[in-house]
Amino acid sequence: MLPQFLLPETTIREAGTGPEIALGEHKGGCLVLTFGITRIIEQESIDLSIWGSTNGTDWGTKPILAFPQKFYCGTYQLVLDLSDLPEITHLRTKWTVNRWGKGEPKPLFGIYLFMQAMEPAMAAGGR
């Protein structure tokens, strides 16, 4: 599977939710999620979580995965193992942002998030 964007590169200034993405053939599989922060200003943070749905409508009350809170530009990866959640057919992302200190009170981030199937060689540590 080529990388598929859960959230194409986007400028965000407030909390929000990305589009729903159907898992298709990757339902119940193992995915590598890559979260990129391309733009940031000082004294702000972002929390990004992944939500799963069985029907594309009901997203539950808790995320199925969350990245640790971020404060800096960079590229961050997590593995999402859906083998224990075979009923999940759709994913989407949610984020909250926070800004403190002097200057413009509204946060400013440039972010993206994409997923790709974990290849067997990746899971085995490249052996």
Domain spans in the chain, listed from the N-terminal domain onward: 4-36+45-119
Gyration radius (Cα) of the chain, Å: 15
Give counts: helices (H), strands (E), the chain: 1, 9
Write the pLDDT tens digit of every residue in 76-113.
Answer: 999 999 999 999 999 999 999 999 988 888 999 999 99
SS3 87: coil
* Average pLDDT along the chain: 92
| Length of the chain, in residues | 127
CA nearest neighbour of 41 among 13, 9, 77: 13
Predicted confidence at residue 126, as pLDDT, reads 53
Mean pLDDT across 17-42? 95
Write the pLDDT tens digit of every residue in 53-74.
Answer: 999 999 999 999 999 999 999 9
pTM of this structure: 0.89
Q: Fold for 4-36+45-119, please state it.
A: Jelly Rolls (2.60.120)
